[in-house]
C-alpha cells in the first residue's frame, strides 16, 4: 500500500520536477524573488549557460568549500554555542570522515548522534549538508537531461540556477510539510538539553532530545539517512509509531521515483520513463521478496530447538514495526541509498543481509535523489552499445551516436564501483588477518564482534555502504578508528563524484552532437525488450562482480544454518 501510494505521488511529482528543470511556471513560482535575491547577493548570473566542464567545475568547487567548512566546525564544535549537553569536538580522523560522509549524501556515521555532535553542528553542518548534497545530486541529474535533449549545443544549463531551484522548489517545501507531520506525531523540536525521567521500574534515566523533526525530514526526503540519535529511525523520538514509519518510508522513495518519471517528461519520451521504472521495480521486488520471506519465517536454528517465532525473526527489530515492515524498510533504504534504519541490519537473517548488500552493489534501482538516474544511465548506455553491436549498427541513444569517448567513460564508472568495494574489503581483510595487533587506535583484532562468515560480511557491508553513498552498516564493526575513518572517507569521495562526473561529461559530449533522425533501423529503447537488455547488463556487470565476495560472507552463513 505504501509503495503504491508513493509511486502514484512520484508520477505526479515527476511532472513538477520536469517543470522546474525547464523553467516553466509552477505552483511555487512565487519563490522567484527569493531565488533572484540569492543570486544577486552571490554575484551569480543564473541565465549564463555552462558547458559540461564549467558545470562540473562549479559543482566540485562549491563542494570543496563545504567540506572545508564542515571539517573545521566539527573539529571545534565543543567550543561553539548550542551545546547544552557538553559534547566534545571530534578528532581529526572522525571529523574528516563525517564531513565527507555528509558532503557526499552518505551519512556513514562513525559516531553516535546524541553524544558525538552538538545541536550547532547538527543544524549548521550536518543538516545543511543534507540539503546541499541532495540539491547537488538533483542539479547534476538536470544537467544530464539537458545534455541528452540538446541538439548540437554545448550547454547543460546553469549549475547554480538548478541547484538553488532544487532547494527552493523541490526539497524545502516537502521538508516543511513532512517536519510538520512528524512534529504533530510527537517527534521533538527543541533546543533544550537532556531531561530525566523515572521508569516504571523506578530507575532514573536521562533522555536526549533536540531539533529532531526538521532533521528527520531532509534526512529522508534527501535520501541522506543520518540519524539524529545513534539508533537512527529505530529510536522512538525519531520514529515514534507506525504512522511516522509510513511517512518516512514515503518520504525517502518519493523524489527518486519522481526523478525517474521526470526523465520521461523532460525528454518527451514518457515510455522511456515507464521502461526505466519497470526495470528498477523488478530489481526492487527481486530483492524485497526474499528478504520478507526470510524474516517472517525466522531463524531455522531456533525452529530446530522448538522455540516458537510467531512474529518471525524479531532480533534487532522494534515491536511497533515487526519483521515484514522492517524488511521493506531495509531494502528501500539500501536500493535508494538513504541508509537510515528502523531495525539493525546486523541482526537480519543471512539471506536478507545478502539482499541488502546486493541493493547497494547494483546501485541502480531508484537510487539517491538525482544520482540514482545517473547510475542507471551508465548501464543504459552500455546496454545501447552492446545492443548496437549485436544488430550490426552504430550504437545511438535518443538520436545521438555513442562513440569511443562516451564508452570509455561509462566503462570506467561501471568498473569503479566493484573496485572500491572489493579492493577496500580485500585490504581490510588482509590487515585483520596479518596485522591483528598493529598499533592502531583500535587494534584490527578488535574490529569485529562476530567471527567467521558474519565478521567478513561486516567489513564487506561497510565498504559497500560507503561506495554506494548509503551510510547504513552492520554495526558489529568497530569503525571509529584511524583505518576505517580514512579508508571509507576516500571511498566515499570516489564513489560519489566519479559517478557524477562521468555521466555529466557524457551528457555534455552527446549534447554537442547533431541529432540523427530516427529510422526503421534505429534501436528502440522504449520497449520491454530493451528494458530486459538493460536489466541483463545490470546483473552481469554489477551483481555478478560481487557474487564471489557474497559467497564468502552472507551466502556461506546462510548455508551454514540451513
pLDDT of residue 74: 97
401 - beta bridge partners?
Answer: 396
Radius of gyration of the chain (CA): 23
pLDDT of residue 152: 65
Measure the CA–CA gap between 134 and 166, rounded to whole angstroms: 8
pLDDT of residue 551: 94
Q: Is the dihedral of CA 243, 247, 252, 258 positive or negative?
A: positive
Q: What DSSP element (H or E) covers 205?
A: strand 204-207
The three cell numbers locating residue 358: 546486493
Distances (CA, A) of 106 to 307, 369, 465, 486, 498: 39, 12, 8, 15, 15
pLDDT of residue 439: 67
The three cell numbers locating residue 48: 549564463
Q: Is the dihedral of CA 456, 462, 468, 470 positive or negative?
A: positive
Domain boundaries, the chain: 2-271, 279-561
With a cut of 50, which residues of the chain have pLDDT below it? none
CB environment 327-345: b (16+ within 10 A), e (fewer): bbbbbbbbbbbbbbbbbbb
Digit-coded pLDDT (tens) for 402-411: 989 999 999 9
Q: What residues have CB less than 8 Å from 419, skipping those under 6 apart?
A: none
Digit-coded pLDDT (tens) for 13-64: 999 999 999 988 888 888 899 999 999 999 999 999 999 999 999 999 999 9
317 - beta bridge partners?
Answer: 343
Measure the CA–CA gap between 172 and 483, rounded to whole angstroms: 37
Measure the CA–CA gap between 232 and 239, rounded to whole angstroms: 9
The three cell numbers locating residue 154: 554545448
pLDDT of residue 85: 93
343 - beta bridge partners?
Answer: 317
pLDDT of residue 543: 75
Looking only at the bridges linking them, the beta strands covering 400-401 and 204-207 are unpaired
Grid look-up 520491454 returns: 528
196 - beta bridge partners?
Answer: 206
Looking only at the bridges linking them, the beta strands covering 204-207 and 195-198 are antiparallel
pLDDT of residue 541: 86
Answer whether 309's CB lies under 8 Å from 255's CB.
Answer: no
The three cell numbers locating residue 149: 535533449
Measure the CA–CA gap between 223 and 279, rounded to whole angstroms: 21
Q: What residues have CB less than 8 Å from 34, skipping those under 6 apart?
A: 168
- Which has the closest alpha carbon to 259: 409, 375, 132, 133? 375
pLDDT of residue 27: 86
Grid look-up 511556471 returns: 25
Answer whether 541's CB lies under 8 Å from 416's CB.
Answer: no
Measure the CA–CA gap between 469 and 497, rounded to whole angstroms: 10
Distances (CA, A) of 510 to 42, 249, 497: 31, 36, 20
Going by the DSSP 8-state scheme, the letter that residue 342 receives in this structure is S
Amino acid at each position: 500500500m505504501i509503495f503504491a501510494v508513493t509511486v502514484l505521488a512520484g508520477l505526479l511529482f515527476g511532472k513538477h520536477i520536469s517543470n522546474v528543470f525547464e523553467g516553466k511556471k509552477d505552483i511555487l513560482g512565487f519563490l522567484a524573488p527569493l531565488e533572484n535575491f540569492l543570486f544577486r547577493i552571490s554575484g551569480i548570473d543564473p541565465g549564463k549557460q555552462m558547458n559540461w566542464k564549467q558545470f562540473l567545475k562549479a559543482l566540485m568547487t562549491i563542494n570543496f568549500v563545504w567540506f572545508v567548512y564542515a571539517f573545521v566546525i566539527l573539529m571545534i564544535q565543543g567550543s561553539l554555542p548550542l551545546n547544552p549537553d557538553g559534547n566534545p569536538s571530534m578528532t581529526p580522523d572522525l571529523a574528516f570522515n563525517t564531513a565527507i560522509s555528509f558532503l557526499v549524501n552518505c551519512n556513514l556515521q562513525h559516531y553516535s548522534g546524541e553524544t558525538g555532535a552538538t545541536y550547532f553542528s547538527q543544524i549548521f553542518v550536518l543538516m545543511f549538508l543534507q540539503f546541499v548534497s541532495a540539491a547537488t545530486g538533483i542539479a547534476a541529474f538536470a544537467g544530464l537531461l539537458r545534455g541528452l535533449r540538446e541538439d548540437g549545443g554545448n550547454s547543460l544549463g546553469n549549475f547554480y540556477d538548478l541547484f538553488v531551484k532544487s532547494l527552493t522548489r523541490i526539497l524545502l517545501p516537502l521538508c516543511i510539510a513532512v517536519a510538520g507531520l512528524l512534529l504533530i506525531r510527537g517527534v521533538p523540536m527543541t533546543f533544550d538539553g537532556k531531561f530525566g525521567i523515572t521508569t516504571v521500574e523506578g530507575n532514573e534515566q536521562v533522555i536526549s532530545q533536540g531539533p529532531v523533526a526538521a532533521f528527520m525530514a531532509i534526512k529522508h526526503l534527501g535520501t541522506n539517512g543520518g540519524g539524529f540519535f545513534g539508533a537512527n529511525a529505530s529510536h522512538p523520538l525519531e520514529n515514534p509509531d507506525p504512522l511516522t514509519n509510513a511517512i518516512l518510508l514515503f518520504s525517502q522513495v518519493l523524489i527518486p521515483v519522481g526523478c525517474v518519471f521526470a526523465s520521461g517528461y523532460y525528454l518527451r519520451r514518457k515510455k522511456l520513463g515507464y521502461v526505466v521504472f519497470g526495470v528498477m521495480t523488478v530489481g526492487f521486488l527481486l530483492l524485497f521478496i526474499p528478504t520478507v520471506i526470510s524474516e517472517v519465517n525466522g531463524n531455522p536454528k531456533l525452529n530446530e530447538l522448538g522455540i516458537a517465532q510467531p512474529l518471525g525473526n524479531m532480533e534487532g527489530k522494534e515491536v511497533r514495526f515487526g519483521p515484514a515492515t522492517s524488511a521493506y524498510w531495509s531494502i528501500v533504504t539500501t536500493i535508494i541509498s538513504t541508509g537510515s534504519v528502523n531495525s539493525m541490519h546486523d541482526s537480519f537473517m543471512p539471506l536478507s543481509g545478502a539482499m541488502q548488500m546486493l541493493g547497494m552493489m547494483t546501485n541502480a534501482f531508484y537510487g539517491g535523489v538525482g544520482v540514482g538516474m545517473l547510475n542507471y544511465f551508465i548501464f543504459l548506455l552500455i546496454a545501447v552499445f552492446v545492443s548496437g553491436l549485436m544488430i550490426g549498427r552504430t550504437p545511438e541513444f535518443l538520436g545521438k551516436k555513442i562513440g569511443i569517448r562516451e564508452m570509455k567513460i561509462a566503462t570506467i564508472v561501471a568498473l569503479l564501483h566493484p573496485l572500491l568495494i572489493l579492493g577496500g574489503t580485500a585490504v581490510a581483510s588482509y590487515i585483520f588477518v596479518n596485522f591483528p595487533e598493529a598499533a592502531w587506535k583500535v587494534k584490527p583484532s578488535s574490529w569485529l564482534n562476530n567471527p567467521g562468515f558474519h565478521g567478513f560480511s561486516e567489513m564487506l557491508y561497510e565498504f559497500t555502504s560507503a561506495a554506494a553513498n548509503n551510510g547504513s552498516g552492520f554495526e558489529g564493526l568497530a569503525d571509529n578508528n584511524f583505518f576505517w575513518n580514512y579508508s571509507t572517507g576516500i571511498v566515499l569521495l570516489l564513489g560519489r563524484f566519479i559517478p557524477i562526473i562521468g555521466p555529466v561529461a557524457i551528457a555534455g559530449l552527446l549534447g554537442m552532437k547533431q541529432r540523427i533522425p530516427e529510422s526503421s533501423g534505429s534501436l528502440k529503447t522504449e520497449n520491454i525488450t530493451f528494458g530486459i537488455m538493460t536489466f541483463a547488463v545490470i546483473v552481469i556487470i554489477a551483481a555478478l562482480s560481487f557474487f564471489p565476495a557474497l559467497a564468502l560472507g552472507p551466502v556461506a552463513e546462510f548455508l551454514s544454518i540451513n
